[in-house]
Amino acid sequence: MTWQPYSRRFAGLDARRQEEAAREIILGCPPLMRTLRTLRETGLPDAWLVSGALYGNIWNTLTGRACDHGVKDYDILYFDPDTSYEAEDAVIRRWTPAFAVDPPHEIRNQARVHLWYEAHFGQPYAPLSETREAIRRFASTTHAIGARLNPKLEIYAPYGLDDIFSLRLAPNTRLENHATHERKARRQMAAWPELTFVPWPDAVAEETS
């Protein structure tokens, strides 16, 4: 497939065609595939590569940039019912060296998120039941994407892929993540100026009142 710089050619297409395009982009990005193959080899339970490594590299392909441009880190989520700090720390220590150093790879057990989230972000966070539930709670629907080799490439995008292919940063109002949505958008729009920012609904109401 030949890609056109600054292309929105997949925006508005049906979900099947958009998933095919995302799949081809991921398969064609060597850093992504190295991480996905290594992730499969770890055997971590319910493990997914999520968020910026995926949507950022889709944007890089659509805008003619190199793989990993603007990608701050690779987020790896897994779900282990053992919520002890020691168990998660052992996983991080064992498997982080297996992945590339640049961009850094961050490995986190989603079964533990509710234990530290309120102290970090100032609001309670209901316990998760699986990794895909964590993806559904991301601050932007655009960011809600995960991938794994199972054994073939599997993509999970609960809100679809149209925001990604439309180069649109849209809020996910399932949680009060207004500040996170704006903070991440500022950084991403600096790396990909083609992006369009959709404000949090409350911010829109305040501006028009």
What is the arithmetic mean of pLDDT over 140-150?
96
Phi, psi for residue 200 in degrees, rounded to 5: -60, 140
Rg of the chain over Cα atoms, rounded to whole angstroms, equals 17
Write the pLDDT tens digit of every residue in 117-139: 888 888 889 999 999 999 999 99
Which pLDDT score, from 0 to 100, does residue 178 have? 84
* pTM, two decimal places: 0.91
CB hemisphere CA count around 115 (13 angstroms): 11
Which pLDDT score, from 0 to 100, does residue 202 have? 73
What is the arithmetic mean of pLDDT over 194-203?
86
Residue 29: both structure tokens together: 């990005």
**Is pLDDT above 70 for 4?**
no
**Is pLDDT above 90 for 152?**
yes
Write the pLDDT tens digit of every residue in 78-126: 999 999 999 999 999 999 999 999 999 999 999 999 999 888 888 889 9
188 Cα distance to chain centroid: 13
**Is pLDDT above 70 for 38?**
yes
